[in-house]
């Protein structure tokens, strides 16, 4: 059984202008648009990495989607890696709060927790928000 020091969970919230449905729709129905909406963020994020993932769960009623990494550079440091994204209505106003959860198991103690990815997912959230709320 893995040591608890090797497993981890990081979470962050990002406030956006888009509705929960608009944000969720990008990942569930227009995943090819995610790359285009976030190209600058993806290209500007450190050394290029590849990732092959699968959608593990989708709950349209909760605007929730979970991806599990199957292959790629990230698995050189992590035994497992999953990302859950849930968009909820912002209380007391328009827009949404996007809650990101990163769950992972490091291969060994020498691997850092992926705190740098929290800033990346914030940038991705803002880029998608700008994409889906831009005037036509």
Encode pLDDT of 101-127 as tens digits. Answer: 999 999 999 999 999 889 989 999 999
**pLDDT (average), residues 44-69:** 88
Check residues 122 and 50 and name the one with the higher pLDDT. Answer: 122
The domains of the chain, with CATH numbers, are 7-133 (3.30.530.20)
With cut-offs at 50, 70 and 90, classify the pLDDT of residue 2: very low
How far, CA to CA in Å, does 68 sit from each of 14, 80, 83, 136?
21, 8, 7, 34
């Amino acid at each position: 059984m893995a040591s608890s020091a090797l497993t981890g969970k990081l979470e962050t919230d990002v406030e956006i202008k888009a509705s929960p449905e608009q944000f969720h729709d990008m990942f569930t129905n227009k995943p090819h648009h995610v790359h285009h909406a976030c190209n600058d963020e993806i290209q500007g994020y450190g050394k290029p990495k590849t990732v092959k993932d699968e959608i593990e769960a989708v709950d349209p009623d909760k605007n929730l989607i979970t991806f599990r990494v199957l292959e790629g550079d990230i698995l050189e440091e992590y035994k497992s890696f999953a990302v859950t994204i849930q968009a909820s209505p912002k209380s007391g106003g328009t827009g949404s709060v996007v809650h990101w959860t990163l769950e992972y198991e490091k291969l060994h103690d020498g691997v850092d927790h992926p705190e740098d990815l929290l800033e990346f997912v914030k940038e991705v959230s803002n880029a998608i928000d700008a994409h889906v709320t831009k005037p036509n």
